[in-house]
Amino acid sequence: MATSILIVEDQFIEANDLRITVENAGHQVCGIAKSYDQAMTLLEKIRPDIVLLDIYLKGKLTGLDLALVLTKENIPFIYISANSNLSVLEAAKATRPYGFLVKPFREKDVLVALDIASYRHNHTAELISKHEGLLTAILKHIMGERLPAMEKMLMVVKAINPYIPFDYIHFDTDCNGPDLNQVFCFHRTGYDQYEYWTGQQILNDYDLGYQAYMDWRKIIASSNSTKIENGQDFEIARSKYPFLDNISKKFGVLSRMVLPLLNDDKHMSIRMYSKGRDSFKTDHQELMNPLRPLLAVVFGKAQDKGVNTSNLSRHTDMAIVETGTLLTEGIVGKSPKLLNALDQALQVANFDMSVLVLGETGVGKEGLVQAIHRLSNRNKKPLIKVNCAAIPVSLIESELFGHEKGAFTGAFERRIGKFEQAHGGTLFLDEIGEIPLEVQTKLLRVLQEKELERVGGRTTIKVDVRVVAATNRNLHEDVAAGRFRMDLYYRINVFPIFLAPLRERKEDIPLLTHYFLQQHARKTGTPVKQITSAVLNKLLAYSWPGNIRELLHLVERHIILSSSDVISTIELPENIVTAIDDLLEDKGFRSIAEVDKAHIMAALHKSNGRVSGKGGAAEMLNLPPTTLNSKMKKLGISWKFR
């Protein structure tokens, strides 16, 4: 079936060239617009499959403005621009495009971008459809259960949370009613762990204001449309409604999504809150809107049962699915940013789409990839890991695709590459940003065609592989600098998952520390050592440039150094402790980049400029030398050995 394409481009020659290119490939151009206004007029009459969108258009409004409309309407779009600098890419990235073409481009580039956009959109639509089907089945099951109301609501919370990133949620089964025991409130405290109250209990416990809450419920009941309030929109709402402001202060939430429900003329609602400023997306609305009638019925059934919390404690770790254990095996923490990443992994695990795990070195990307593989339908087949940063450039093509005997000097026998080894399973391309450009081209072909040729071979080999990639690099910067292919970036970035650095997950530090202490005791058969509160406070104050890996090495080192059962002292790089003390005293905060730069420079000073080797800065920081060099380059640190 031909793809229907709308071209939004203010230069006639370029628009016509695009039209000829896509029509010659068998696609249909449903319209050409020169401005935002012309495009909006066309969109009132037609719904294209894909929009080719120039960023700079005639008139006051740009392609970035039109992108917001397209995103809301769930119409995929590809930017076309003469500018690929970083600021333009960052502004474009925020609108969540399906591709980016830099002028001048070849016909092949346009067609590849269209294929990738179709692939990403279809897979996203498939994901939402399957998630909707799964949630429908779970909600129908919950509806038929003979359980107390609070327990039913808890099951609904656990069913929804993997798909919607909320940290706090209110269910109101009668927004106009006076009985606050028909309001159910849940605060997420860990994976499959929630603290919960009735509406009456939470008002009593937190003194949130009875009248403010009753007024707020009536406002909710007056609307029947789903609402998302992120960032500034949420701040405006907080200033208007005292109860919302109280909730934000008590639970640290910064955004929300409201789903009004209606059942037999009774107004109900679900109000989800997140600690992130921009947590809720149109995809979440698209997933939840079709489920609203069923949720209203579930609410009605739960309300009929009445409130009974005798079988539940305020805190629970009751799991309703076995996947929680499989997902969190070897992953420690309860911070909202980690839980959000785990939820995303659960969402995508059983689908064959590409996943890109983003995060600094040492944040636990490999553990998350292993969890995705364990939960996938490919878990009976191998998970093959390739560390792209550790393979010499001259060998990486052979490593990935294999080679035939005699293909090059030293190729004394046939070699089966990693793609073939992972057939039927998962291929983990760690540090994919380190792959050289010439190999990126061949990698893109394998990902699109699902076939390869070994180096020196002539036979085409079909491969069935699910690719999960990871990187600690900013690929947008690499794309802008020409170091990473834009088409490959959009091909692997179908489902990105970001793992936050440890300095942004401080609540995980005590859990990780105790986990490492227990793990060492199990391995050595010795008693578990404890740490003092003073040591824990120092760990919490440190910025952890080496993340979890650095914490692990530091704990293991001090277990060995400590002669007693309690670790009462700990050595951290002095400059960071001093810097944090200075920041707390004074004087305005320094950026994370400034703190990292000072930390690295202190290590270089102590090592006399040596980066690698025994006593080098990389060893002190518990970082691979390649990673430290990359960080130094990014931060503009130039240091000669002396």
Q: Based on the domain organization, do 341 and 481 belong to the same domain?
A: yes
Which of 316, 335, 363 is the C-terminal boundary of a domain? Answer: 316
Q: Are 328 and 310 members of one domain? A: no
Q: Can you tell me the distance from the alpha carbon of 209 to that of 243, in angstroms, rounded to the nearest whole number?
A: 7
Predicted confidence (pLDDT) at residue 642 exceeds the cutoff of 60: no
Q: Are 534 and 392 in contact (CB under 8 A)?
A: no
The average pLDDT across 399-417 equals: 84
Quick check: 190 pLDDT over 50? yes
Q: Based on the fold, state whether residues 609 and 625 are members of the same structural domain.
A: yes
pLDDT digits (tens, 9 = 90+) for 91-134: 887 788 988 888 877 888 888 889 888 888 888 787 788 888 88
Asked if 437 and 348 sit in the same domain, the reply is yes
CATH number at residue 209: 3.30.450.40
Contact assessment for residue 228 and residue 289, using Cβ atoms and an 8 Å cutoff: no
Considering the domain architecture, whether residues 309 and 170 belong to the same structural domain is answered as yes
Q: Say if residue 488 is in the same domain as residue 509.
A: no
**Residue 640 belongs to some domain of the structure:** no
Average pLDDT over residues 388-408: 87
Domain limits for position 237: 145-316
13 lies in a domain?
yes
Q: Are residues 327 and 434 in the same domain?
A: yes
CB of 54 within 8 A of CB of 8?
Answer: yes
Question: What percentage of the chain carries pLDDT values higher than 90?
Answer: 37
Torsion angle in degrees (nearest 10) through CA of 87, 88, 91, 94: -110
Q: Provide the CATH number for the domain around residue 45.
A: 3.40.50.2300
The model's confidence at residue 33, banded by pLDDT at 50, 70 and 90, is very high
**Total domains, the chain:** 4
Mean pLDDT of the chain: 84
Q: What is the mean pLDDT of residues 292-306?
A: 76
Place 228 in a pLDDT band, splitting at 50, 70 and 90: very high
- Which whole number is the average pLDDT over 413-421? 91
User: 11-15, 268-272, 500-504, 570-574: lowest mean pLDDT where?
Assistant: 570-574
Please check whether residue 329 lies inside any domain of the structure: yes
Note the pLDDT of residue 48: 95
Three-state SS string over 486-527 comes to HHHHHHHCCEEEECCCHHHCCCHHHHHHHHHHHHHHHHHCCC
Could you give the C-alpha distances from 441 to 350, 488, 491, in angstroms and in order?
Answer: 28, 8, 12
In a domain, 95, yes or no: yes
pLDDT classification of 468: cutoffs 50, 70, 90: very high
Q: Answer whether residue 340 is part of any domain.
A: yes
Q: In the structure, what pLDDT confidence band is assigned to residue 198 with cuts at 50, 70 and 90?
A: confident
Task: Give the contacts of 529 (CB within 8 A, at least 6 positions apart).
Answer: 517, 520, 521, 559, 562, 565, 566, 567
Q: Which of 84, 108, 132 is the last residue of a domain?
A: 108
Residues 460 and 487 in one domain: yes
pLDDT confidence of residue 3:
86
Q: Which of 286, 301, 316 is the endpoint of a domain? A: 316
| 126 assigned to some structural domain | no
Domain assignment present for residue 118? The answer is no
Task: Write the CATH number for 473.
Answer: 3.40.50.300
- Indicate which CATH number applies to the domain containing 532: 1.10.8.60
| Amino acid found at 242 | P
Among residues 449, 454, 385, 448, the alpha carbon closest in space to that of 422 is found at: 385
- 73-82, 269-278, 318-327, 485-494: range with lowest mean pLDDT: 318-327
Task: Name the residue with higher pLDDT: 478 or 330.
Answer: 478
Mean pLDDT throughout 292-313? 65
Q: Let me know if residue 125 belongs to a domain.
A: no
Predicted local confidence at residue 327, as pLDDT: 61
In the structure, what pLDDT confidence band is assigned to residue 27 with cuts at 50, 70 and 90? very high
Q: Are 520 and 558 in contact (CB under 8 A)?
A: no
Query: What is the per-residue pLDDT for 305?
Result: 45
Q: Which of 600, 501, 622, 615 is nearest to 552 (CA)?
A: 622
103 and 159 co-located in one domain? no
- Quick one: 88 and 222 in the same domain? no
One domain, residues 204 and 69: no
Give me the pLDDT at residue 309, please.
42
pLDDT tens, position by position, 626-635: 788 778 877 7
Q: Grade residue 563 by pLDDT with cuts at 50, 70 and 90.
A: confident
pLDDT tens-digit readout, 498-542: 999 999 999 999 999 999 999 999 998 888 999 999 999 999 989
What whole-number distance in Å separates Cα of residue 528 and Cα of residue 518?
A: 6
Both 304 and 334 in a single domain?
Answer: no
Residue 199's nearest CA partner among 247, 236, 235, 239 is 247
